[in-house]
Structure 1
Amino acid sequence: MQPIWISSTQASELLGISERQVRRNASMWEYRWDDEGGRKVLKINVRSLPKDASDRYVMATLPESTEVQVQAEDVETVIRSYDRATDRAKKNFDKWTLILLKCEGITGTKELGRFVDDWNRAHPEMKTSIKSIYRQRSQVGECGKIALINHREVMHSTVRDAWFEDFKNAYLTANKISVFSSWMIALGKAIERGDVKDQSEFPSKSAFNRRLKSEFAPDVIYFAREGKKKFYDNKGFHLDRDYSDLKAGQVWVGDTRTWDVFVKVQGQEKPATCYITLFMDFKTYMPMGWCLHHDAPGTENTLRAMRHGIERYGLPEEIYVDNGREYRNRDFSGQSRGHQIVEDEQYAESMASRLGIKMHFAIVRNARAKIIERNFLIIKNGFDRLFNSFKGGTVVEKPEPLKGVLKSGNFLTWEEFYGLAQEYMTIVFPGLPCQGKHHNGMTRRELWNAEIVKREPMRRVSRETLSMLVSRTVKGRIMHMGFHLAQLDSWYWAEWMPVWKGREVTFRYDPDDMRTAWCYDQNKKLIGECTLQSAVGAMVKDDDAVGKQLIAEGVARKRHEEKMLKEICPDMSKEQAEEYISAMRTAVGPQDIFVPQGPTHLTRHDRDSEQLRAEKKVGNADFYNIVDGEVEEKPSTDLWDELLTGEAM
């Protein structure tokens, strides 16, 4: 800025001291001596005077037509910014507030130099420089004292907006490109545009990283690089549940998980994967009922888990599950997949409708809403990892010795694993300390015992209803031999069926005991019972449940029959083509095809070939031509030439 020179008289008025004092202390400010009318006159630079004095001079000399509003410092804003600032920002504010206060009114390089020397000797932990004081004065004069707190925002980055845009677009992606690679991309694009010639004219990658962190919150960067799911799992907004109005055993939440353990199943060569279908109390996290199985998850296992829990504790009022096929079907919830969920409308023959249980389905792809997922992780870390055949949930978790364990076969059978899993879910897991907010350090069993006595006893059902829980339904018609259960290739018969032949009914059967089944009409009214036909029933004793095993044997016999038929009528192979063609050639037999022999048509090529044969008898063809010179031409043997000669004659 250009200096503004005023007389010592004007300076004394601005400073509020006598002119004599101004002359004595002229060295404190920037001054000079001018010649005016043959005498020396002292001139003072207004900009070197204290800020209050220089501001008064500026305001007094401004044109009258221009209105200038001086914005006062917002003290409350500064205080709020100071409270929210980091420790480093607070330390910077305290340091420069003190320094600027001590050097207030000191101007001129010489005077500031003496001040800086004295300050640095007295305060070695807060050293400064003349350049830093000028810079801080300029920032405070432009932005106020808040600039001392947000000093990094006031300082302008050396990274241009176009360069930063290229860097940001590369770095804030799910591919997780490194800072260095993103910086290289921005550098390459800057060189292509002609902004810089080489790396020496380009800011460092640290400058890009600093600007990125100053403009984007850490969680925003985490969302861009880690993805939506991981962000909401770790850093997203979560609702706190209020369990005060919820009773123990009122709501059950269910799901199926894969045990991260390989087991040996009889009849299977390869190590098998096993599952657990579990229903857990929503409030106490107490396991209500479960089903351990090594076959694929399905409605049958879900119904078994429900029966196990109802038999032990009683009926829940509501059930909270996901949208899996084992839950959304006619047998369990009465609401099939692919249709809109209507919680008040359930299929009349479904388990939920018969027992008066209200169904709730989780939002699709929102598994984090189910507390059972977090308990599955506890089971995995506390139980699955105890086995030498632990396979892990991902490739990263897979133990290195697993391959050798599976090859040696030294791991548990399904029966051994089943017993240990039952013991863990019945005794160990309920007694483990729980980290739930409402548990207050209690175990699942302790919280259950404390809460269950506060409510009325849970509803119970009869043994007949329990046996009906795991039953499955299928629609079909009464045939000449009764009702044919196509899934298991078995027939059922009852004396009432002759009058119902040709009509469609709903058939309900228990997979655990298939000796007896039930049929319902189209109005869901029970028609009567029916029994398994004697072809299978004759092998069943009164104290033995047929279940799937005997029916499966029948299906196995059917498959064996199909295998035998395939051996009789095998599929074609690639070698059979050659065999079949050879056989057909033999069947056709040798064939004599008459081909008449006509005269040979001689061409010039035949004459050239004859000449070459003659030359070979003599020796070298070239030598033969040199020695003998002209060779007597033999008569033409060309049939065509002979014909022409004959015509000429």
Structure 2
Amino acid sequence: MECLTVKQVADIKGCSQQYIRKIIGQGKITAIEAEEPINHRIQYLIPVETLPEDLRQKYYASIATDGPPVPKEKAVKKEKAKAKKPFEAYTKKEREEIMQWCEILEIWQKKRNHFESKVEGDRNVVGYLKCEYPDKQISVDILYRKYAAYKAGDFGGLLDGRGGWNRGKSAVPEVLFLQFLYFYLDDRQPAVSVCYRATVDAAKELYPEMVAQFPSEQSFRRKLKKEVPEAVVRYMRLGEKECFDKAAPYIERWYDDTEANDVWIADNHTWDVMVMRDDGSEVVHRMYLTAFLDAKSGVLTGWNVTDNPCSDSTIFALRHGILRHGIPKVCYFDNGTEFLTYDIAGRGHRTRKSQRDVPKPETILAKLGIEMKNAIVRNAKAKPIERTFSTLKEHISKLMTGYCGGKPSERPESLKRQLKNGSIPVDSEFREIIDTLIEGQYNQEPYGGTEKAYQGMTRLEVWNESIQNTIQRIASEDDLNLMLMRTTRYQKVKRNGVCIEIAGEKLWYSNADTWQHVGDEVYVRYDPTDLKTVRVYDVEDRFLYTCQVEPALLLNFIEDDKAALADANEIVRSRKKAIRNYAKGITDRLPAEYKIDMLDLSIRKAKLAREGVNIAQSSVIEPIRIDPVKETDHLQELPMASGADNVVSIDIERMNARAEMRKRNKRR
């Protein structure tokens, strides 16, 4: 059986040997594996009978002409002149070499002119230059070649072209590198070595001709570092957020046109400290901080430490800041429900379409003249206060007993012992420590902003100096208490009065006169720290009256306390009695002679109208008569009903009088 080598088949087909090995691996050509006698390596031998018909004919034709078919010579293409690179395109080391050769060429031209024979002068100057530049390879031919490049402005011609012939080239074929990237750029983040081994295995299946000279793992590492941008690697392996946080450009805020109290930034922070309840119960929990940060100075203007970051905590922190530093112009909130509340600043983007045109009471920020701004959703970079919370963690949380860290890896081993011994602070102690450290430590620390004018000053000193350049708006404590009262939505006064909802529970408020306003549309304002009374306003924002909480009307489904039942019934009876007395007072004010029944009034009006009734008749009348002959025969006298001996007469006036009497009795 006659067989051909891979090279012979490639010559006949006019393609590369790699392609023949590839189609052998794909089973398109049948081959036999045999040992090469010279180097004992395995090689492919292809039987002539298994070749496709066209290749077999070419092979037989080559035998007839004593050689394989000679391929046509390709036209020689003229090489394009290399583009000259500017001087800045070379590296620092290359620029230094170019400058040195320019210096050598200038010396050569000056000294050779002193000789009558330029040939003799060149030999002498070359000897001199070799002594002056022993590290350079200098000869007459080199000088002429470098000088020609120098005159042509070709800086590349002045460089030593030896070495680096394969600079910028890689031993990794593009198809293998793409296969490697397919494995490596995966969000499961496989290691480079794992991807390299997977690429080798894939090459054995898909590219068997490349396995013999497969590049090393280090070649893949170099090509990966050189050709794939770090941003793309982060995007494909770590995700969009990690990529944009580390590789995307960011916006730097400019504070030169901002003054103190122009913008306050609000947010909540979870303290990384375990605390206990004040009542001595062993309920371990973490507290929260609701804080307002002045954008200009970095001062924490107002704060509130709470175990429930809610809208009430936001109002307490705002009140704390206004009493100490005045009223800001703008409050910068994120999109949490504790800030986007209908009575603080409105619902913002959380407003439902069905509620956008519904009238609402004036918000707290509107009463204070504060403009609300909202950060982009899920964009922590928009809130500089996040950096402040990191500082609070480092400067305050880590100083305290009970520090637990923000994640399990940060939790100290001593925490378990502290919790067991109960040596962690209680709520009230923790609040006092936080107030002291924020006021006396954090606000007194050096200013960390970018403005050079305030370098070397503390945060509070920056605020004190900046506030002199603007108008500071302040409010008295009494006025502030009134303006910071919470507001309900519009509601109608019901039988039990008006209500507010606290922690999912409805509290009803009323007074002795609430029953007079049932059905009126109002809204309620209340102080979260004092829920004994509320203030009621109409839809035009006019104050109407004050209501008190009615706990006596809230009873258990089965109430055993007789005193509680008696109190509730007494309130109900008093309201009913007031309604009766009010109604009686209305009817009693009308004189008796004017108390006329509406039916009697209607009858009188009808009688007066009846006397003047004149029914007009037509000028042409057609009488209609009965035929007595036809009708009298059928008329029969009807018998009188049984018991109808006496005729009954109906007295209408007597009936009206009795009806009037019954109505007067009911009114009494």
In the superposition, the TM-score normalised over structure 1's length comes to 0.60
Which of 506, 512, 516 in structure 2 is aligned with 1:499?
516
1:231 paired with 2:243, answer yes
TM-score (norm 2): 0.59
Shift of 1:358: 0.9
Report if the CA contact (8 A) 2:368-2:483 is conserved.
no
Letter in 2 for 1:71: A
Whether contact under 8 Å (2:536, 2:546) holds in the other structure is yes
Q: Tell me whether 1:449 sits opposite 2:464 in the alignment.
A: yes
**Which residue of 81, 86, 97 corresponds with 1:71?**
81
Residue 312 (str. 1) matches residue 320 (str. 2): no
Residue matched to 1:464: 479
Corresponding residue of 1:509: 526
SS in 1 for 2:413: coil
- 1:214 aligned residue (213, 216, 226): 226
CA–CA separation in structure 2 for the residues paired with 1:320 and 1:147: 63
Q: Is the 8 A contact 2:485 2:525 kept in 1?
A: no
| Distance in 2, Cα, partners of 1:517 & 1:476 | 14
Q: C-alpha distance in 1, partners of 2:179/2:76?
A: 44
* SS at structure 2 position matched to 1:169: helix
Counterpart residue number, 1:625:
none
Q: 1:345 to 1:434 in 2, by over 3 A?
A: farther
Task: Determine if contact 2:486/2:525 at 8 Å carries over to the other structure.
Answer: yes
| Aligned-partner SS, 1:519 | strand
Deviation, structure 1 residue 412: 1.0
State the Cα distance separating 1:344 from its structure 2 match. Answer: 14
- Secondary structure of the 2:532 match is strand
- Distance in 2 between residues matched to 1:352 and 1:67, nearest whole Å: 79
Select 1:379's aligned residue among 386, 392, 404.
Answer: 392
Please give the alpha-carbon distance, in whole angstroms, between the structure 1 residues aligned to 2:266 and 2:376: 14
- Output aligned runs, 1:211-360, within 5 Å: 211-266=223-278, 268-295=281-308, 297-336=309-348, 338-339=350-351, 348-360=361-373
Give the secondary structure class of the aligned counterpart of 1:277.
strand
* Equivalent AA in structure 1 for residue 402 of structure 2: S
Of residues 497, 501, 520, the one that matches 1:482 is 497
CA distance in 2 between counterparts of 1:177 and 1:152 reads 34
Q: Secondary structure at the match of 1:518?
A: strand
Secondary structure of 2:328's partner? coil
Alpha-carbon spacing, 1:560–1:360, altered in 2? closer, same or farther (3 Å): farther
Q: 1:467 offset after TM fit, Å?
A: 4.3
Contact 1:329 1:337 in 2 (8 A): no
Q: Show the 5 A alignment for 1:35-434.
A: 71=81, 73-76=83-86, 79-82=87-90, 85=91, 123=135, 154-196=167-209, 201-266=213-278, 268-295=281-308, 297-336=309-348, 338-339=350-351, 348-434=361-447
What amino acid does structure 2 have at the position aligned with 1:310? Answer: I
Alpha-carbon spacing, 1:440–1:336, altered in 2? closer, same or farther (3 Å): same
Match of 2:545 among 528, 541, 553: 528
Q: Distance in 2 between matches of 1:203 and 1:452?
A: 67
Per-residue CA deviations over 1:453-503 (Å, capped at 9, x if unaligned) read 122233435523334415242554323332244544433123442221134
Pair 1:208–1:197, CA change in 2 (3 A):
closer
Q: Is the 8 A contact 2:403 2:411 kept in 1?
A: yes
Q: Identify if the C-alpha distance between structure 1 residues 440 and 395 changes in structure 2 by more than 3 Å, giving closer, same or farther.
A: same
Instruction: State the shift of 1:449 in Å.
Output: 1.7
Report percent identity of matched pairs: 29
Q: CA deviation at 1:258?
A: 0.4
Count residues with an aligned counterpart: 445
Once the 2 structures are TM-superposed, how far is the Cα of residue 149 of structure 1 from its aligned partner?
12
Q: 1:233 Cα shift?
A: 3.1
Q: Deviations over 1:535-571 (max 9, x none)?
A: 49xxxxxxxxxxxxxxxxx9xx969999xxxxxxxxx
Deviation of 1:92 after TM superposition, in Å, equals: 8.9
Gaps of 5+ in 2: 1-74, 107-129, 138-148, 561-668
- What's the offset of the Cα at 1:67? 11
Q: 1:571: which partner in 2?
A: none
> Shift in Å at residue 516 of structure 1?
2.0
Q: CA deviation at 1:366?
A: 1.0
Q: Tell me how far apart the structure 2 counterparts of residues 192 and 67 of structure 1 sit (CA, whole Å).
A: 38
| Change over 3 Å in CA distance of 1:503–1:455 after alignment to 2 | closer
Post-superposition offset of 1:90: 6.5
Which amino acid counterpart does residue 217 of structure 1 have in structure 2? P
Identify the range of structure 1 (175-184 vs 252-261) with the bigger mean alpha-carbon deviation.
Answer: 175-184
What is the CA-CA distance between 1:420 and the residue it aligns to? Answer: 0.6
CA distance 1:468–1:559, shift in 2 (3 Å): farther
Amino acid corresponding to residue 233 of structure 2 in structure 1: I
Q: Secondary structure at the match of 1:280?
A: strand
Separation in 2 of the partners of 1:294 and 1:525?
36
**RMSD value over aligned CA atoms?**
4.3
One-letter identity of the residue aligned with 2:330 = E
Cα distance change of structure 1 residues 400 and 250 upon mapping to structure 2, 3 Å threshold: same
How far 1:99 sits from its partner (Å)? 13
State the Cα distance separating 1:188 from its structure 2 match. Answer: 1.5
Distance in 1 between residues matched to 2:536 and 2:367, nearest whole Å: 16
